[in-house]
Structure 1
Amino acid sequence: MTQLPRGRPRSEATRLAVLTATAELIAETGYDRVTIEAIAARAGCGKQTIYRWWSSKSLIVADAVIDGHLRLPEHGVPDTGDLGADLRDWVTEAAASVRIPEHRALIRALAAAASETEAESLRLSEHLTAPHYGALMRRLRAGQARGQLSPEANLDAIADALLGSTLFRVLAGFPPAAHPSAIVDLLLGAGPGGRSG
């Protein structure tokens, strides 16, 4: 939960009403069109109450995602035994997801929330980023153990590049890559269109 300022304690019923209202309004109109005024009206509370507890709309969205009122699409890394094919499928699915404007807007909102404070960044990392990163690292380690990656391969760098290549395009406002799986070929050492075992 976002760190609260000193003052009147937060009502749990009002907090839940705000998060529910935010999720409903985003589903109805999209993140970019949602305003604090609209959230307050839907939640039945004053705008001042919201600003007392959250300093920005993106922080409300972060709480709504962490509490399960809003859900980002989840893309688990498959394990068919073929690391290259699994990663290509994974990045292609992720690229398709971020073509959806609502998903792109939520990712940008969460990035904005993470930039508010170090504590918020750590909280979002713990609940959202770290689990995805951990799953990707486990899949890379499994591939390395099967001899599909060099024992000297820098798995952290590969994971950073796979996740970062998608997020960068979203945050920079670029369209998703036309051929998202090409990054896998580069990272695993295959030539264009090639397959790494």
Structure 2
Amino acid sequence: MNETRRSVSLNPATVKTRRCVSFCDTLGAVPTPDPGRRSERARKAILDATLALLHESGYPDLTVEKIAARAGVGKQTIYRWWSGRGAVVLDALVEEIGEAGPPALPDTGDLEADLRLVVRAIVAELADPRLSVTTRALTIETLSSETFATTMRDRLLRPQLDTIKDRLRGRVREDVDLDQAVELLIGPMYHRWMMRTGPLTEAYADGIVDLALAALRPR
């Protein structure tokens, strides 16, 4: 008996060989790189590089090109996320201290003692060149750009000042402008630091608190 063989036409373009199936399946299993994760790694590298360069050579020597080279990214990546070196420094500092808000002021029940602790801590930071290098960089940018100054105040400075203001509320004369009261405590330190008019010491910090409270306390 003769078998009738049916001829089947196969289109090579639609046929997968066993090897092709195995290769294609394996290829399909390769995870697609997560652009979000890659971007976060690049962002972290940029912020770390910024702080490292800032501590090594100071703000005048800091450039976007040097940050990019240290972070291993193109400078266009930095400009895609930040307007310039000052904005990168601000983000790096915020990242370093965290955006959870300012630490709570000590509350021992003694306003003078609590303010002494806070003002001493600020003076100690300003007196340490390594700790104050980011503050000096931000100050330079603040004096150069009103837009940057607004951003810096809102993100970094205002929360700290508001915390001190809340502590003073109800504990100083009713006619006192609380914003001015806070500046009476904080302003002298920054003036001495910026103008280098004298040493930043604990005795100086305590003197600021004594003079401020003498003017602010209810008569």
Q: Output the TM-score relative to the length of structure 1.
A: 0.71
Query: 2:208 is aligned with what amino acid?
Result: I
Q: Indicate how the Cα distance of structure 1 residues 103 and 173 shifts in structure 2: closer, same or farther if over 3 A, else same.
A: farther
The answer on 1:186 being equivalent to 2:215 is: no
Q: Indicate how the Cα distance of structure 1 residues 20 and 34 shifts in structure 2: closer, same or farther if over 3 A, else same.
A: farther
The answer on 1:165 being equivalent to 2:165 is: no
Whole-angstrom CA distance in 1 between matches of 2:103 and 2:125: 9
**Larger helix share, 1 or 2:** 2
Deviations 1:87-116 (A, max 9, x none): 122212211121110222211111222234
CA contact (8 A) 1:62 1:113 kept: no
Whole-angstrom CA distance in 2 between matches of 1:120 and 1:42: 25
Match of 1:133 in 2: 161
Whole-angstrom CA distance in 2 between matches of 1:126 and 1:96: 24
Query: 1:94 is aligned with what amino acid?
Result: I
Query: 1:185 is aligned with what amino acid?
Result: D
Q: Indicate how the Cα distance of structure 1 residues 158 and 140 shifts in structure 2: closer, same or farther if over 3 A, else same.
A: same
Whole-angstrom CA distance in 2 between matches of 1:176 and 1:169: 8
Match of 2:110 in 1: 82
CA contact (8 A) 1:99 1:176 kept: yes
CA contact (8 A) 2:185 2:208 kept: yes
Give 3-state SS (helix, strand or coil) of 1:181's partner: helix
Bigger drift between 37-46 and 127-136 goes to 37-46
Q: How far apart are residue 42 of structure 1 and its match?
A: 1.3
CA contact (8 A) 2:90 2:152 kept: yes
Bigger drift between 99-108 and 109-118 goes to 109-118
Query: 1:188 is aligned with what amino acid?
Result: L
| 5+ long unaligned stretches in structure 1 | 1-10, 191-195
Give identity over the alignment, percent. Answer: 35
Whole-angstrom CA distance in 2 between matches of 1:21 and 1:95: 27
Give 3-state SS (helix, strand or coil) of 2:204's partner: coil
Give 3-state SS (helix, strand or coil) of 1:115's partner: helix
Q: Output the TM-score relative to the length of structure 2.
A: 0.65
Aligned pairs for 1:61-80 within 5 A: 61-66=89-94, 68=95, 70-71=96-97, 76-80=104-108
CA RMSD of aligned residues (A): 3.2
Q: 1:112 aligns with which of 134, 137, 140?
A: 140
Match of 2:6 in 1: none
Q: How far apart are residue 138 of structure 1 and its match?
A: 0.7
Q: How far apart are residue 39 of structure 1 and its match?
A: 1.7
Q: 1:19 aligns with which of 35, 47, 50?
A: 47
The answer on 1:150 being equivalent to 2:178 is: no
